[in-house]
Each structure stands twice: as C-alpha cells, then as structure tokens.
Amino acid sequence: MRPLDQAARASVLFGAGLAVANTIVAHALVRWSAGRSTNVFLRAVLGGMVGRMALMLGAVLAGLLALGLPRLPLAFSLLSYFVVFLIMELTILHRQTSTEGSRAR
C-alpha cells in the first residue's frame, strides 16, 4: 500500500473537518432545543438537518471545484468520519435521554 500524496491528504483532512463541523453543529442544535417544546425541538433538529445538508453540499462542491481536491479520498473520508460521529452522537443522545427518563420516574 503506497502512502497518500499531498493532495489526497488534504482531501482526507478536508472531509474529516467537514464531518467534525457537521457533528458539532448537530450536537449544538440538539442541546439548544432539548429543554424546549417538541415543535421547537423538531424544527431545530429537522430544519438544522436540511441546512447542514445544504452547507455540506456547498462545502464539498467548493472543495472539488474551487480547491481541486481529489474526489475519492474526500468522499471516503467524509462518509467514514460521518458514520463514526453519527454513531457517537446517537450513543450520547441515547444515554442522555435514558438518564433523563429514569430521573422523571
């Protein structure tokens, strides 16, 4: 297996950075809306999801078209980190809601 060249490394780091930013914003929206009404929570989470998807698409297009990053390393990195962070996010949310639910009893 040969090492990645500089452009591929930049592409992997760009994808990882996008996944990290996406996760931080998602977590912030959930934390912000947690104590509010169900409608506010759903608007923040679902509306935030649409907004984050649009921003991610724009960032990926900018990385590919404006920065000229290689496609495959960017896509693989972004999807890999996204899945890992999504699993972490769901685990944290599950623990928080389980703890809050047991306190309410």
pLDDT in tens, 27-46: 898 888 888 888 988 888 88
What are the C-alpha distances in Å from 41 to residues 4, 34, 74, 98, 100?
42, 6, 32, 17, 16
Q: Give residue 45's pLDDT.
A: 84
- Please choose, from the candidates 80, 105, 90, 96, the residue with its C-alpha nearest in 3D space to the C-alpha of residue 18: 80
The number of C-alpha atoms within 13 Å of 37 and in the hemisphere containing its C-beta is 3
Question: Which pLDDT band, with edges at 50, 70 and 90, does 98 fall under?
Answer: confident
Is 75 contained in some domain?
Answer: yes
Question: The whole model's pTM is what?
Answer: 0.79
pLDDT for residue 15 is more than 70: yes
Q: Give residue 9's pLDDT.
A: 93
Helix 48-61 and helix 6-33, axial crossing angle in degrees, nearest 10: 170
pLDDT for residue 101 is more than 70: no
Is 50 contained in some domain?
Answer: yes
Structural domain containing residue 31: 6-104
Question: Which pLDDT band, with edges at 50, 70 and 90, does 86 fall under?
Answer: confident
Is 49 contained in some domain?
Answer: yes
pLDDT for residue 93 is more than 80: no
CA distance 14 to 34: 30
Task: Please report the sign of the dihedral spanned by the C-alpha atoms of residue 74, residue 80, residue 83, residue 87.
Answer: negative
Is 98 contained in some domain?
Answer: yes
How many separate domains does the chain show?
1
Lowest-confidence pick of 8-17, 40-49, 51-60? 40-49
CA distance 60 to 71: 9
Is 100 contained in some domain?
Answer: yes
Is 1 contained in some domain?
Answer: no
